[in-house]
């Protein structure tokens, strides 16, 4: 069975769910001017088709979770072993995100550390991974805004 294309109503539902994954079907239906059942059917279809991959809780930065240093660490690989580096770093609690990227570098990690010393330790560990040729670290000086928790459902990205 062919997957149906997303229409404007689907995109509005996705945007509302991205902002509040706990939004009720009744509230969504009110916003898109459909019945609750119609909205539930659309959500079910998008889940089955893989458009909605899951639901998550966005945690606030409480004092006990506050990090002092946020950095973007870019990586050059010896060979294209992206999955190996992603698997190696997936269990590191300091690594918030890992991307394969196009351009002069092969991968990028978003890292939260409690100190510059901890960040140096993380980059040392990265450079010891067999697939890693070298790293470059870019420390965040100030966050003007952060939409990391808000995904734009109308955009698509290729996966490696």
Separation of alpha carbons 57 and 45, rounded Å? 22
Please give the pLDDT value at position 15.
Answer: 86
Please give the pLDDT value at position 64.
Answer: 52
Q: Are 73 and 117 in contact (CB under 8 A)?
A: no
Please give the pLDDT value at position 1.
Answer: 54
Please give the pLDDT value at position 85.
Answer: 94
Angle in degrees, 0-180, between the axes of helices 36-48 and 8-19, rounded to the nearest 10: 80
Please give the pLDDT value at position 55.
Answer: 83
Percent of the chain residues past pLDDT 90, beyond the cut: 62
Going residue by residue through the chain, which has 160 residues, state the pLDDT in tens, using 9 for 90 and above.
Answer: 567 788 999 999 998 888 888 999 999 999 999 999 999 999 999 999 988 888 876 655 544 545 689 999 999 999 889 999 999 999 899 999 999 999 999 999 999 999 999 999 999 999 999 999 999 999 999 888 776 644 444 434 443 3
Please give the pLDDT value at position 18.
Answer: 82
pLDDT tens readout for residues 116-158? 999 999 999 999 999 999 999 999 998 887 766 444 444 344 4
Please give the pLDDT value at position 98.
Answer: 95
Separation of alpha carbons 51 and 129, rounded Å? 34
| Element containing residue 74 per DSSP (H, E) | strand 69-77
- Look-up of token digits 């999955």: 83
| Element containing residue 71 per DSSP (H, E) | strand 69-77
Q: pTM of this prediction?
A: 0.57
């Amino acid at each position: 069975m062919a997957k149906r294309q997303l229409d404007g109503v689907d995109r509005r539902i996705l945007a509302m769910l991205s902002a509040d994954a706990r939004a009720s079907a009744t509230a969504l239906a009110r916003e898109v001017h459909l019945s609750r059942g119609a909205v539930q059917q659309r959500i079910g279809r998008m889940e089955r088709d893989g458009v909605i991959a899951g639901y998550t809780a966005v945690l606030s930065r409480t004092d006990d979770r506050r990090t002092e240093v946020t950095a973007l660490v870019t990586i050059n690989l010896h060979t294209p072993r992206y999955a190996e580096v992603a698997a190696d770093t997936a269990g590191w609690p300091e690594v918030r995100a890992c991307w394969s990227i196009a351009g002069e570098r092969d991968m990028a990690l978003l890292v939260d550390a409690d100190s510059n010393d901890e960040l140096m330790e993380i980059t040392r560990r990265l450079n010891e991974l067999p697939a890693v040729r070298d790293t470059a670290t870019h420390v965040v000086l100030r966050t003007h805004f952060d939409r990391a928790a808000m995904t734009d459902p109308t955009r698509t990205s290729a996966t490696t």
